[in-house]
Amino acid sequence: MIQLTDISVRFDGGESPVEAVKSVSLHIGKGEIFGIVGTSGAGKSTLVRTINLLERPNAGTVSIDGVDITRFKGEELRKLRLRTGMIFQQFNLINTRTVFDNVAFALKVAGRSKQEIGQRVPELLALVGLADKSNAYPAQLSGGQKQRVGIARALANSPQVVLCDEPTSALDLETTASILELLQEINRKFGITIVIITHEIAVVKAICDRVAVMDAGTVVEKGAVYDIFANPQHEFTRQLVARTLNLELPPRLLDSPRETIIKLHYRGERAEEPVISETIRNFNVQVNILHGHIEYIGGKPLGSLVISLDGEPDAVSRAATFIKSRTAGFEVLK
């Protein structure tokens, strides 16, 4: 649906030019929730803003449904922007206007009649769970409620795509979860494609189908969320995954004098195989689980387990070989 081909964006204004995005190509499928993660300044916002031409690329093309929009101007550009909703970290509401008026504003800009607006705004507010806040002002709302207004406004003109720039970064964990649920509901109900910039693993894990990792203006890895998390290549992704899987081992666990200590990585179906019980049954060793963590991403398990093996050296070695053959990742820690 969205095809970015060799997109480069350069800012010439400052002391020296900044190459914010360097020859990035990405395909985002229709109805997909696509995450863009990466370090601060990696170029995520700049890249996403090329999708509705808030940022014009210096090189490359942006196509939506097979139509090259890169040179759109005037009426074509206006229509493109109406078809593309945006949600921001700081909500960007008009503080002097009521909730109703904030949402109505997007419809007015699109030239809708007063009657249409009077009908559509309550529908949108009901959709985002704010039917009773129509006359409230932004200052009277919680962060989560403000973002719900932002979502209602983004949906006002029935967009095909919603671009979200750090939509939950200003929210607490619980509110984040409820906003993500709402975005997912909108995606499923209306088939709207959602592109979401985030530095939060919770966001990617909870709702993204695929993800691209950006660093210094380029996409360094991309793919299905599970695949990227199961086999992270780039340092940023590794750290992100390590944070969520808590793979750091407390050093005291390595103090044990005799045993062999092994770290296993579980991926996909293999996580459910009874490797540990089979090891105990088939080899004359003692197995202790020292540390473990398992996560479900897109319903598939991903995790790590640290175990100690104790017994005759030969039995330990054979048990270790067996475990290695049955797990996705294997590391002898001691």
Ligand X SMILES: Nc1ncnc2c1ncn2[C@@H]1O[C@H](COP(=O)(O)OP(=O)(O)OP(=O)(O)O)[C@@H](O)[C@H]1O
Interaction site with ligand X (CB under 6 A) = 11, 13-14, 18, 20, 38, 40-46
CA nearest neighbour of 228 among 61, 59, 86, 37: 37
- Using the minimum distance from each CB to ligand X, give the nearer residue, 18 or 245: 18
Q: Closest approach of Cβ 13 to ligand X, in Å?
A: 5
State both tokens at 92.
């960007």
CA nearest neighbour of 44 among 73, 7, 72, 74: 7
Rounded CA separation 177/54 (Å):
29
Please provide residue 253's backbone torsions phi and psi, each rounded to the nearest 5 degrees: -65, -20
- Using the minimum distance from each CB to ligand X, give the nearer residue, 157 or 176: 176
Q: Closest approach of Cβ 250 to ligand X, in Å?
A: 32
Q: Closest approach of Cβ 49 to ligand X, in Å?
A: 8
CB 121 within 8 Å of CB 76: no
Q: Closest approach of Cβ 214 to ligand X, in Å?
A: 6
CB 218 within 8 Å of CB 49: no
Q: Closest approach of Cβ 54 to ligand X, in Å?
A: 10
How many CB atoms sit inside 10 A of residue 71's CB? 11
HSE, side-chain direction, 13 A CA sphere, residue 208: 29
- Using the minimum distance from each CB to ligand X, give the nearer residue, 93 or 214: 214
- Using the minimum distance from each CB to ligand X, give the nearer residue, 43 or 311: 43
- Using the minimum distance from each CB to ligand X, give the nearer residue, 45 or 147: 45
Q: Closest approach of Cβ 63 to ligand X, in Å?
A: 21
Pairing mode, if any, of strands 161-165 and 84-88? parallel
Rounded CA separation 25/47 (Å):
10
- Using the minimum distance from each CB to ligand X, give the nearer residue, 16 or 325: 16
CB 170 within 8 Å of CB 163: no
Q: Which helix (H) or strand (E) holds 323?
A: helix 313-326
- Using the minimum distance from each CB to ligand X, give the nearer residue, 62 or 319: 62
Q: Closest approach of Cβ 166 to ligand X, in Å?
A: 7
Q: Which helix (H) or strand (E) holds 119?
A: helix 114-127
CB 79 within 8 Å of CB 129: no
- Using the minimum distance from each CB to ligand X, give the nearer residue, 41 or 232: 41
Q: Closest approach of Cβ 234 to ligand X, in Å?
A: 14
